[in-house]
Chain A
Amino acid sequence: MKASYAKYGILPGTLIIFVAVWWVIAAEVNNSREIVGPLQTGRALVSLFTDPPLTRLLAAGLQVTITSILIGFALAVMVGIPIGVLMGRYLIADLFCDPWVNIWYSIPAIAFVPLTMNWTGVSSTSSVIIAFLITVFTVIINVYGGVKNISGSLVDCGAAYGASQTQILTKIILPATLPSIMVSLRLGISRAIEGVIIAEMVFTVVGIGGLMDDAADNLQLALSGALIIILAVISLVLAEVVKYTTRRAVAWKESQAMIRE
């Protein structure tokens, strides 16, 4: 973990550079149908919070998008962790599931979009399914890796002292896998966010992603830009909350996987 103090000074600097470059490019292009500057986008952002009809749209969109992300993520975690543990513990489960997990993991999220459109229509249920499908395999793969890498001496020791299967599972396997589970949560939330946003951009009528795409289609680029900023903030907050919580949960163990990130 590199918590350098220079980073805190560099962060506002980077933001200023970003806005400045954006401003210059927008001024150079000078065509509001191609790119809008930070000023107009800022104004649109303010109007999103002050203009009552827009605020209502925003509130409804926020609710849909955030619940889709959270439900998809929670489902993926609830399904993925048990499957990952089973695959790590039992060879049969491993051989049975491994090809499928790897195949489904390689399928890009966008390929699920038309399928779910057939199943549940253009709705937030579809975004939840997509978020679930692209998150669950990440969770499975990471938990599986964690269970597989548990040192054999830990399990043997438990077995030698006569621990039952459930005791081995709850007292040895799960605590030892916790860091990997936390990593899978952190990777998973990013994927769930991305999945929901991709789905909503294609659907164009659901959630903030839909609002954003719709605004762009109607050439309201400033509004679209403002919604992009809001989406970025949501993603940032959700990802950081999960990151912080998972760090706290396994603060006792500086795991290899955590350091690598």
Chain B
Amino acid sequence: MKSTRTMSFLAKFGIFCASLGLFFVLWEVAALSVGKSLILVGPIPVLQALIALLQNHLPRGILGIQGADAAILQTLATILFGFVLACIVGIPVGLIMGRWKTAEVLIDPWLSATYSIPIVILIPMLYFAIGADFYAEIFVTFLLTVFTIIVNTHHGVKYVSNALAEVGKSYGASESQFVTKIILPASMPDIISGMRIGMGRAILAAVLAEVLMSGNGLGGMMMTFQDVLNTPYMMAVVFLIALMGIAVLQLPKILERRLFRWKETESLSREIRR
């Protein structure tokens, strides 16, 4: 088998373009053969709608939603606030769990529960308990993200190589030195991989909260267009959410590449969970 290296960049780029082209052709053919703009529209009207949205033009007769810029900003803010909050809480909790057996035993059942039970089922309840404003959405985002961060941090801290830990111990490192100089750097790849998966969760959570709770932001906008059966605009918002998701997901990846050029992290290629 030829390895990826032997293939020239041009050939790879060509294949990518062909794959891109094929996708749009298939989409157009599917749209033409369905022939009903309510069900599926081709790529061109969707791109037009996307451009109109980005220029902040809304179609006529749509009332009660924000402009596209406000919606994008609100969704981004929800994602980022929820995510940062989850990191601020999740990384220390994971660290404590990895270092302190009692905490691990106490917290682990909660984590195991979230392995198998999707937390999204709590959203309709949360709606009544904490309302449906911006803060509630941030809370939902936080809740759906924090466990991923805890699990990955815990894993990273727990499986720091013994060789590293023993050198630190034998040279008489204090507990705080031990944690900041050895444990944290060594477990950083796992923490970042948790952040990457967590970011994906945060995007899902933020948009879901908007759909189910406030009806604001991109999620609300998407459902509004769905309700009025404006398919091109609806698909444009779906596109926007996808694009935003892909863009935001790059943040932890960039951080990882920057920090760990020295380390081939396995986490780069594999998801631990969800």
Contact = CB atoms under 8 A, between A and B. Distances in A.
B222 A190 contact: no
A145 interface: yes
A141 B269 CA distance: 9
17 contacts: A35-B128, A99-B20, A100-B23, A106-B200, A114-B225, A115-B234, A117-B226, A118-B38, A138-B271, A141-B271, A142-B270, A145-B270, A201-B212, A224-B125, A228-B122, A235-B118, A236-B117
B4 A91 contact: yes
A130 B238 CA distance: 14
A239 B116 contact: yes
Interface residues of A, number: 67
B109 A107 contact: no
B119 to A, nearest CB: 9
A216 B128 CA distance: 8
B200 A145 contact: no
A257 to B, nearest CB: 7
Contact of B207 (A11, A111, A142, A197): A111
A180 to B, nearest CB: 9
A225 B19 contact: no
Contact of A113 (B124, B211, B242): B211
Nearest to B247: A106
A80 interface: no
B116 A114 contact: no
B241 A235 contact: no
Interface of B: 1-2, 4, 7, 12, 15-16, 18-20, 23, 38-40, 105-106, 108-110, 113, 115-118, 120-125, 127-129, 155, 200, 203-204, 207-208, 211-212, 219, 222-223, 225-226, 229, 231, 234-235, 238, 241-242, 245-246, 249, 269-274
A4 B110 CA distance: 16
A112 B208 CA distance: 11
A7 B269 contact: no
B16 A260 contact: no
A6 interface: yes
A10 interface: yes
A109 B4 CA distance: 31
Interface string A1-27: 000101100110010000000000000
Interface string A210-246: 0011001101010011001001100110011001000
Interface in A176-222: 187, 190-191, 193-194, 197-198, 201-202, 209, 212-213, 216-217, 219, 221
B207 A187 contact: no
B121 A106 contact: no
Contacts, number: 163
A114 B234 contact: yes
B117 A107 contact: no
B128 A33 contact: yes
B128 A97 contact: no
A51 interface: no
A109 B272 contact: no
B128 A103 contact: no
Contacts of B274: 187, 190-191
A187 B232 CA distance: 33
A251 interface: no
B128 A10 contact: no
B204 A110 contact: yes
B244 to A, nearest CB: 10
Contact of B249 (A106, A219, A221): A106
Given A10-B106, A99-B19, A216-B124, A107 B241 contact: yes
A228 B128 contact: no
Contacts of A34: 128-129
